[in-house]
């Protein structure tokens, strides 16, 4: 997830936002993925759709372990489908959306969703 990591030392103590791997709990730098699950796309479901928080993992072993956890926590037979994106692409889109409101997109439709947080958080 995105978390604040406390830092001490000059010039001053601060809290630093960072991507932290939801499997090994180490900082993800450059090479990583974001992954989440959604029920968007089910035929005949009027919504609002369900969506999970966005999780973060290192590419490779951590990413595969996170996928297993998501599929166990948000099962396919309950309508969930897991998705992922490259961390760099995620950051670029997030930065774009910081200054571009969805309501200003005359051609797109943005669908509401209900956030589903598991009782057990990694
Ligand atoms: Zn990791």
Judge whether residue 43 has pLDDT over 60: no
State how many domains the chain has: 1
* Distance from the alpha carbon of residue 86 to the mean position of ligand 1, in angstroms: 14
Structural domain includes residue 65: yes
26: its two tokens: 């180490």
Contacts of the segment 95-101: beta carbons below 8 A, 24+ positions apart: none
Structural domain includes residue 6: yes
Structural domain includes residue 122: no
* CA-based nearest residue to 115, from 41, 56, 42, 37: 37
Structural domain includes residue 121: no
Q: Which ranges constitute the DSSP H helices of 15-82?
A: 61-73
| Distance (Å, whole) CA 62 – CA 113 | 27
Judge whether residue 121 has pLDDT over 70: no
Structural domain includes residue 86: yes
Structural domain includes residue 120: no
Structural domain includes residue 35: yes
Judge whether residue 112 has pLDDT over 60: yes
* Distance from the alpha carbon of residue 36 to the mean position of ligand 1, in angstroms: 16
Length of the chain: 122
* Distance from the alpha carbon of residue 43 to the mean position of ligand 1, in angstroms: 35
* Distance from the alpha carbon of residue 21 to the mean position of ligand 1, in angstroms: 5
* Distance from the alpha carbon of residue 121 to the mean position of ligand 1, in angstroms: 16
pTM: predicted TM-score of the whole model, two decimal places = 0.87
Residue pLDDT, tens place only, 94-109? 999 999 999 999 999 8
Domain ranges, residue 72: 2-103+111-115
């Amino acid at each position: 997830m995105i978390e604040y990591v406390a830092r001490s030392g000059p010039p001053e103590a601060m809290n630093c936002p960072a991507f932290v791997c939801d499997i090994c709990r180490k900082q993800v730098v450059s090479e990583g993925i974001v992954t989440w699950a959604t029920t968007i796309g089910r035929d005949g479901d009027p919504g609002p759709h369900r969506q999970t928080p966005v999780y973060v993992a290192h590419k490779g072993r951590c990413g595969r372990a996170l996928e297993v956890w998501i599929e166990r926590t948000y099962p396919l037979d309950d309508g969930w489908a897991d998705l992922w994106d490259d961390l760099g692409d995620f950051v670029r889109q997030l930065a774009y959306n910081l200054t571009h409101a969805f309501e200003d997109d005359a051609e797109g439709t943005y669908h509401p969703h209900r956030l589903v947080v598991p009782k057990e958080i990694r």
